[in-house]
Amino acid sequence: MKSRTIKKAVFPVGGLGTRFLPATKAIPKEMLPVVDKPLIQYAVEEAVAAGVDMLVFITGRNKTAITDHFDKAYELEHQLELKQKDAVLEVVRNIVPSHVDCIYIRQSEALGLGHAVLCAKKAIGDEPFAVLLADDLIDGKKAPCLAQMADQFNLTGESVIAVEQVSHEMTDQYGIVEVGDEGAQTSAIKSIIEKPSPDLAPSNLGVVGRYILTPEIFTLLEKTGRGSGGEIQLTDAISDLLQQQTVNAFQFEGVRYDCGSRAGFLKANIEYAAKDDELRQLIVSYASSLVEA
């Protein structure tokens, strides 16, 4: 058994977020909050819980909100101290633990997810790493999704890609994998295709926004041309990686909210509010009043 630990994680936050305009005109969609915490912070907390201590953000045109969020806010902290708002001061101070480093790399043009990951090449170097798409919010129930994946990765040192069953008519919104055993939690991927129409999809197993990849992916990304939607697709480079080494699909335990869509984002807000001690009663009674109206 190879023992490895994933220490670096890439957060591509350079997308245009067109489905959330106008909210995303001046801020990245990853800064949209679910209850009171931005999506990117949930993803960062998930990575840190899995043992990551270097966060590599691939930013786009509206990068300042994300860098500011993870930076120290002297003035705000000072004001909170003066007002003796100790609880909220703790929250603001502990957004990133002190042992964790943040690196920001600018993706000069939104050429696609594959291109965003390639921008992290120098920061990652020659080691396996995680990629987290913050607009997929995952409630891992027993353990955070990335920690589940890291446990699987540590068994073999092979790449791990999170997948889940998606409805057949929605295969054209996902990367879809063909695996040896669809019923198994972990199964080697035989093929992967970006956004196939339902009649061409090899299965209903859709890729969600969590990956653990070996560094060989970078050489392949350098050669990857524009694919689906005219973008440089990570899926296409993974398809090439499959020709060289085993890549495993992993069906994680937990619930994923597609916060890149309005419906998924609203669902996440309602469900996370219903889990909050202060908001739970309000949500339940308000929801029933809506039904009665």
Pick 227 or 260: Cβ nearer ligand UTP? 260
Cα(68)–Cα(72) distance, rounded to whole angstroms? 8
Asked if 114 interacts with ligand UTP (CB under 6 A), we say no
Looking at the Cβ atoms of 12 and 128, the one nearer to ligand UTP is 12
Residue 137 CB, nearest distance to ligand UTP (Å)? 12
Tell me the closest approach of the beta carbon of residue 15 to ligand UTP, in angstroms: 2
Q: Are 128 and 6 in contact, with CB atoms under 8 Å apart?
A: yes
The contact mask relative to ligand UTP for 127-146 (x = CB under 6 A, - = no) is ------x-x-----------
Site string for ligand UTP, 255-284 (x = CB under 6 A): -----x------------------------
Question: Which span sits near ligand UTP by CB under 6 A: 107-115, 138-146, 217-225, 245-253?
Answer: 107-115
24 versus 269: smaller Cβ distance to ligand UTP: 24
Grouping H, G, I as helix, E, B as strand and the rest as coil, residue 63 is coil
Residues 6 or more apart whose Cβ sits within 8 Å of residue 156: 1, 2, 246, 248
CB of 138 to ligand UTP, least distance (A): 13
Distance CA 277, CA 282 (A): 10
* Cα dist from 8 to 39, 75, 132, 166, 261, whole Å: 19, 30, 11, 29, 27
The tokens describing 58, both together, are 């691939």
State the first-to-last Cα distance of the chain, in angstroms, to the nearest integer. 60
For residue 57, the Cα-to-chain-centroid distance in whole angstroms is 12
d(CA 90, CA 77): 9
Nearer to ligand UTP, 120 or 273 (CB): 120
* Dist. CA 156–CA 114, nearest whole Å: 24
Looking up tokens 């949930």 gives 42
Nearer of residues 17 and 128 to ligand UTP, judged by Cβ: 17
Bridge partner residues of 57 (DSSP): 11, 104
Q: For residue 22, say if its preceding peptide bond is cis, omega within 30 degrees of 0.
A: yes
CB of 213 to ligand UTP, least distance (A): 15
Nearer to ligand UTP, 208 or 273 (CB): 208
User: 85, 37 in Cβ contact below 8 A?
Assistant: no
- Which residue number is nearest to ligand UTP in terms of Cβ? 15
Binder among 3, 18, 243, 289 for ligand UTP (CB under 6 A): 18
Task: Kindly tell me the burial class for residue 3, based on how many C-beta atoms sit within 10 Å of its own C-beta (0-12, 13-18, 19 or more).
Answer: exposed
User: Does the footprint of ligand UTP cover residue 237 (CB under 6 A)?
Assistant: no
Per CB under 6 A, the segment of 34-42, 108-116, 188-196, 235-243 that binds ligand UTP is 108-116
Determine, following the binding rule CB under 6 A, whether residue 226 of this chain makes contact with ligand UTP: no
* Residue 116 touching ligand UTP (CB under 6 A): yes
Q: Is 65 in the site for ligand UTP (CB under 6 A)?
A: no
Site size for ligand UTP (CB under 6 A): 19
Per-residue x/- track, 164-183, ligand UTP (CB under 6 A)? --------------------
User: Kind of pairing, strands 54-59 and 101-106?
Assistant: parallel
Applying CB under 6 A, the residues found at the interface with ligand UTP are 12-19, 58, 107, 110-113, 115-116, 133, 135, 260
